[in-house]
Amino acid sequence: MERQFQLNLKKSKLKFSVTVTLKKDVLDPQGKVVLNTLTNLGMTSLQNIRQGKFFEIDIETKDQLEGEKKVKEVCEKLLVNLIIEDYKINKL
């Protein structure tokens, strides 16, 4: 019985990934710098690089829908600037 309890404890965590990218029409100077540096290093076939952010979030819940709702709240509260950025949530 205690073992079962421990198994349940172990399962009560869900892992999500969040990818934040700049919207299509927003300039990305950081990506430009990376592109220029790589071109200077001799990589000629690169057309474009855009940089974004990536988060792995562990949430204490067993319910995937509830987890996704929480992650969405996290994104909109802190991680994402909705004016210039888009985000995508994936279950890991």
Nearer to a copy of itself, 5 or 54 (CB): 54
Cβ nearer to a copy of itself, comparing 1 with 56: 56
Which residues contact a copy of itself by CB under 8 A? 13, 19-21, 31, 34, 37-38, 41, 43, 45-61, 70, 73-74, 77-79
- Contact of 61 with 73, CB cutoff 8 Å: no
Cβ nearer to a copy of itself, comparing 1 with 9: 9
Neighbouring residues of 79: CB distance < 8 A, sequence distance ≥ 6? 18, 20, 53, 55, 87
Query: Closest approach of Cβ 47 to a copy of itself, in Å?
Result: 4
| Residues sharing a CB contact under 8 Å with residue 72, sequence separation 6 or more, in sequence order | 89
